[in-house]
Structure formats: C-alpha cells, structure tokens
A and B are shown apart, each in its own frame.
Chain A
Amino acid sequence: MAAKKMAIIATKGALDMAYPPLILASTAAALGWEVQIFFTFYGLQLLRKDLSGIAISPIGNPAMPMPVPMPVVVSILPGMEAMATSMMKAKMKKKGVASLEELRSLCQEAEVKFIACQMTVDLFDFSKSDFIDGIEYGGAATFMKFAGETDVCLFI
C-alpha cells in the first residue's frame, strides 16, 4: 500500500497557532505518511532558528483562559503579552506538552519536508541564515504539485 500523504499550509506565527501544523505533521509522519508543510506569511516564524519570540496575546483573544478576569484595557498594558506567553509556556511544560523546538525536530527527524514561501521570505526581508537548515524554498506551484497528490490538505 502506498503511503498516505498530507500537505499543510502554515500561515500563523502565534504560539497557539504554531502547534497544530507541527502536531499533525509529526503524528502523520509517525503513522508512515509522507508530509510537507508550506510555511508562508507569519508561518515563517516557525522556521526561524530562534523560536523564543513566538508569543500568545490576550488581546483580541477572548477564549484565552485567564487566572483572573481581565478587562481588555488591562491586557493592552506593556508586558502583558510576555506575561501571558510565559504563563502559557509554563502550563504547557507542566502538562507534558512538547515545546515547539522539540516538535519541529521530531518532524525533521521523521523527514517531514519543510518549504519556506520564497515570496514572503523576500517580503519580510528574511535571510536564509534566519532559518533552520534542511528546508526548501519555493512558491505556490511547488506546493500544488505535492498538494494535488495528497489525501489530506490543510490550511492553518
């Protein structure tokens, strides 16, 4: 039986939105699937060598559980995003949730193919040296070639 295939377009760079592509990709790879992730716009953040800047914001995020009810006017104060991010990361660690770095390495070990969108790399003035090794650079046609053969194709 031929291996199943999954293609994901990762477009978001916030902490909560960084997880789904990496969780699904690492899991599918563990199931023997062939997987590619196309990182575009803010999704490019997930390919940076240093992931410490990936954050979660309480602003415009009413579903985010807070230890105490917090008016929006408080969540816009300087430092609130950093505080929310460090609280979320601490909670994730306590609950045994993998770090983004760990999930990303597990994907790479399992030969998930990472493709950086060349157009947005140029748009945001990224340099290849900002990104981890072992990734490819391409455009929509590159993605469609693989996406057209997949069993599962997701836009995240």
Chain B
Amino acid sequence: MQFDKEFDASGLACPLPIVKTKKALADMTAGKVLKVVATDPGSVCDMAAFAEQTGNALLESSTENGKYVFFLKKA
C-alpha cells in the first residue's frame, strides 16, 4: 500500500505507539496515509480503537515479519 509518511514504533510499549502515532499525524493533511510499524501486540486492538475514536480510517492492519503494520488515513 502506498503511504506518505512512516512512523516506526518498534520497541515502544503502551501508550507510546498510540500517543506518538497521534503526534505523527499532527502535521499531515487530510487524506494522507501514515504507515505505523509496532512490536507491541496490544497495538493491534489499540490502533483500531484509536482509529474508531479519532475518525482517522484504519485502512489496513496486518502482521509482517513478526511486526504489526498499520495504515491510517488522516481524517
């Protein structure tokens, strides 16, 4: 999937993947896509909850080489 910006949250534990994803989205314009890579297994549920509550669309949530990969479309 194409993306405009990438944020690597590998090694970070709750709540940093979510809090820093929010920061990564801050300077993006609506419609742009952010790719987030995380190693925290909790981030799978957390990212879905984040997307639902903030209105940023979670386009894809998958696992790649043992890491969790998310694509968020900025609202």
Which A residues form the contact surface with B (CB < 8 A)?
Answer: 23, 26-27, 29-32, 95-98, 103, 106, 110
Contacts and interface: CB of A to CB of B under 8 A. Distances in A.
Interface of B, secondary structure class, is helix
Interface string B36-64: 00011000000000100110000000000
Contacts of A32: 53-54
A106 B24 CA distance: 13
Nearest to A97: B13
A110 to B, nearest CB: 8
B57 to A, nearest CB: 15
Contacts of B40: 96
A31 B39 CA distance: 21
A98 B50 contact: no
Interface of B: 11-16, 18-19, 21-23, 39-40, 50, 53-54
B13 A96 contact: yes
B45 to A, nearest CB: 13
Nearest to B12: A96
Contact of B19 (A26, A95, A96, A97): A26
Given A31-B53, A106-B19, 11 more contacts: A23-B15, A30-B15, A30-B18, A30-B22, A96-B11, A96-B12, A96-B13, A96-B40, A98-B15, A103-B15, A110-B22
B46 to A, nearest CB: 8
A98 B13 contact: yes
A110 B13 CA distance: 19
29 contacts: A23-B14, A26-B19, A27-B15, A27-B18, A27-B19, A29-B19, A30-B15, A30-B19, A30-B21, A30-B22, A30-B23, A30-B50, A31-B18, A31-B22, A31-B53, A31-B54, A32-B54, A95-B13, A96-B11, A96-B13, A96-B16, A96-B39, A96-B40, A97-B13, A98-B13, A98-B15, A98-B16, A103-B15, A110-B19
